[in-house]
A = this chain, B = another copy of it.
Amino acid sequence: MFDELDVALLKTLRDHPRAGQLEVSRLTGVARATVQARIHKLESAGIVTGYGPDVDLRAAGYTVQAFVTLEIAQGALDAVQGELEGHPSVVEAFATTGTGDVLCRMAARSQEELQQALLDINRSPNIARSMSVVILSTVVETRSLPLLEAHARAGGRAPAYRRAHRAPGGRRAADDREA
């Protein structure tokens, strides 16, 4: 589905957020028209869904985060969805297999605020039980590129002379280092 170039472009975009296509083109050593085409392809395939500003909740004052496992009443998923959606503290939520039914992540500015939010949610008649674990620290920062990179189609379509121009040891990997 992907090849190295796609991943290289995504990486470059991530590391140089302000970079436009021209900048990306220069950084990756690919023609601007190619950059435009590839990115457009990724966007229309729905793989790149946007470039929304990445908000650091911790920096924004929401230093307390927790994962909460909810056990909900039979068939009440829709109702619960509405409730969770209505609660700003809920940052994301998923239906899962296992003993719990819904796993959601919450954020708050203090322990007290988190507790209050948990109480709010538990008040719902659709929630049978809840179990929460507080996040102490981040072990692996959220990332998706390594995954794509791991399965990237190695074959590039870059014309031969392109590669020739580059330093033998350099290659595209150079993009990351200068970040």
Contact = CB atoms under 8 A, between A and B. Distances in A.
Interface of A: 1-2, 10, 13-14, 17-18, 42, 45-57, 59-62, 67, 77, 80-81, 84-85, 88-98, 100, 102-104, 107, 109, 133-151
A127 to B, nearest CB: 13
Nearest to A94: B135
A115 B53 CA distance: 34
Contact of A53 (B51, B59, B90, B104): B51
B59 A54 contact: no
A53 B12 CA distance: 10
Nearest to A108: B147
B59 A47 contact: yes
